[in-house]
A and B are shown apart, each in its own frame.
Chain A
């Protein structure tokens, strides 16, 4: 594998999130996006007319991120969201890749700026999952699995992830209590995030005793469906100059230092049993007997991490990264993702969460932790607590990451409980159904 590079420096300078909630009946999807782009522009201290003027003058463009045409019951929803923002006739295209739609969208914006095609790119995303009732919504998501072989036997996503973690438990001894700790952590973190849909103080017992969906996953091991939108502004050096020239104010600049992406086969049954894709600091004999990725690991996540670390020059994520926002659609997938990202060896994810490494140092979770705060994961509360309006999710994670690195959590959340002191480097991770598409993006304070 050769080292990959971006053509020229790319910066992430502003973002906005429209509150994630069960149903936004007061706004249509385009207006929901407008709520998030307005926040993104206000943060630059620019009137929106001025911002649009800059986009038109200085190679501006957009990317629209949304997953399902079924939920909107509207084809070409992207262009409707584009026009309601006042972004026509600028260059744009839709991006779609299941749960990773937002993460892919962000990276496509980065690439358009890196290539020199755009100087400013707005990556905006949304989903309106409230348009159908919960179990019909589950059916729509299940249609994002093989509809000839997997869906007809009663396959649905919570069931697929349950089978994956059941094998993880069998293979590595991961426990349901370790999974529940992820749920406690993320709900507790979200307690301090006003954008989150579920702000709850839970115990491990609360998680285990909530309704079983697909053994071993309970309702509190699983993220909820939401309506929501999010927007990110990615720019070149010229883009920054133009904003400053127009009287804009940048609350903190993040340089994109690494992007990576991997894929895997749709059907879990097809996942091979081969050799582990190694990170540069790992040795083959760490995994002599491990059949990889099997259904217990996400090869796409490992490939994405390896690419992004390679580009960013990261060789020790625990020391070089200050926080991670990752795609915890399930508590189990957060644990599996620790391993894909090389925060610990394959099989050690359960013990990693138990050590407290992924918790915040300053928050009381109701149980003792041996090394809290080594590398906080999902300080925002993640998908489990913030909600998962698919097309918006990966962008929401990027925005929360930006605010961490900018040091503007207090400004945006009204409290600094979730602010990681002197956060310099952050990683955000986006993931589609059973690990079919995974993106890893790394940003650093300028």
Chain B
């Protein structure tokens, strides 16, 4: 052990006698990394659909309420929903221009976020708007016609999957090998965005 400096000894004595310690709070850094094993579960067909250039939503079998962002169970009546195709184009319902974001997205700023409304669907879809100069963004964007664009990086996997005739609406029919492939594709909702039509 190192020698106790006179100054430190004084602090320690004061501390033990119930006086003020004069010790500054000890601040330290610590990191925390986690690899999660996640599943899209019952929403998986939506993500597989993206690889096929399709936007999939759902519709309640009982009350026919329709969801542009899929819900497997109807929030109105609790009924089961079935998968349906959402049109590839819609209108901007609202937007914002993000100059900041979560840490993971700071490098992508500024970016535009929009909620899209679709003909015949009761709910909206959150996405990025690209192909618009952020400097021109304003309330007039609301109502603008936009169309879905899919990440070209998915194309190789998509061609492969097409050749294998995978039915994207029926994930239970996939072989273990095909499931593994889809897992490797890391399909994210951000592989889809919208641009002015």
- Please list the residues of chain A having a beta carbon within 8 angstroms of any beta carbon in chain B: 25-26, 73, 133, 135-136, 138-139, 142, 148-156, 158-159, 162-164, 166-167, 169-170, 211-215, 265, 267-273, 295
Residues of A within 8 A of B127 (CB): 153
Question: Is B27 part of the binding interface, using a Cβ–Cβ cutoff of 8 Å?
Answer: yes
Question: Is B170 part of the binding interface, using a Cβ–Cβ cutoff of 8 Å?
Answer: no
The total of chain B residues at the interface (CB under 8 A) is: 44
- Whether A212 pairs with B99 at a CB distance below 8 angstroms is yes
**Least CB distance, A359 to chain B, in whole angstroms:** 27
13 further interface pairs, Cβ-Cβ under 8 Å (given A73-B32, A135-B102, A269-B123): A135-B101, A135-B103, A153-B126, A153-B128, A155-B126, A170-B94, A213-B100, A214-B98, A214-B113, A267-B69, A270-B67, A270-B71, A295-B115
Residues of A within 8 A of B111 (CB): 154
- Whether B27 pairs with A166 at a CB distance below 8 angstroms is no
Instruction: Determine the distance from Cα of A142 to Cα of B126 in the docked complex, in whole angstroms.
Output: 14
Instruction: Determine the distance from Cα of A26 to Cα of B23 in the docked complex, in whole angstroms.
Output: 10
Cβ 8 A contact of A163, one of B104, B113, B137: B113
- Please list the residues of chain B having a beta carbon within 8 angstroms of any beta carbon in chain A: 25, 27, 30, 32, 40, 43, 67-69, 71, 75, 93-106, 108, 111, 113-115, 122-128, 137, 139, 142, 188-190, 193
**Least CB distance, A216 to chain B, in whole angstroms:** 8
- Whether A214 pairs with B96 at a CB distance below 8 angstroms is yes
Instruction: Determine the distance from Cα of A148 to Cα of B104 in the docked complex, in whole angstroms.
Output: 15
- Whether B99 pairs with A213 at a CB distance below 8 angstroms is yes
Residues of B within 8 A of A25 (CB): 25, 27
Residues of A within 8 A of B32 (CB): 73
Given contacts A149-B69, A163-B115, A164-B94, contact A267 B126 (CB under 8 A): yes
Q: Which of A26, A155, A167, A273 has the most CB of B within 10 A?
A: A155
Residues of B within 8 A of A142 (CB): 102
Instruction: Determine the distance from Cα of A163 to Cα of B124 in the docked complex, in whole angstroms.
Output: 13
**Least CB distance, B75 to chain A, in whole angstroms:** 6
Residues of A within 8 A of B188 (CB): 152
Q: Which residue of A lies closest to B138 (CB)?
A: A215
Instruction: Determine the distance from Cα of A272 to Cα of B117 in the docked complex, in whole angstroms.
Output: 12
Instruction: Determine the distance from Cα of A154 to Cα of B128 in the docked complex, in whole angstroms.
Output: 8
**Least CB distance, B67 to chain A, in whole angstroms:** 7
Given contacts A148-B43, A270-B67, contact A135 B100 (CB under 8 A): yes
Q: Which residue of B lies closest to A157 (CB)?
A: B102
- Whether A153 pairs with B30 at a CB distance below 8 angstroms is no
- 26 contacting pairs across A/B (C-beta < 8 A): A138-B103, A139-B102, A142-B102, A148-B43, A149-B69, A149-B126, A150-B126, A152-B189, A154-B108, A156-B100, A158-B98, A159-B96, A162-B98, A166-B94, A166-B95, A167-B94, A167-B142, A213-B98, A265-B75, A267-B69, A268-B124, A269-B68, A269-B126, A270-B67, A272-B122, A295-B124
Cβ 8 A contact of B115, one of A138, A158, A211, A268: A268
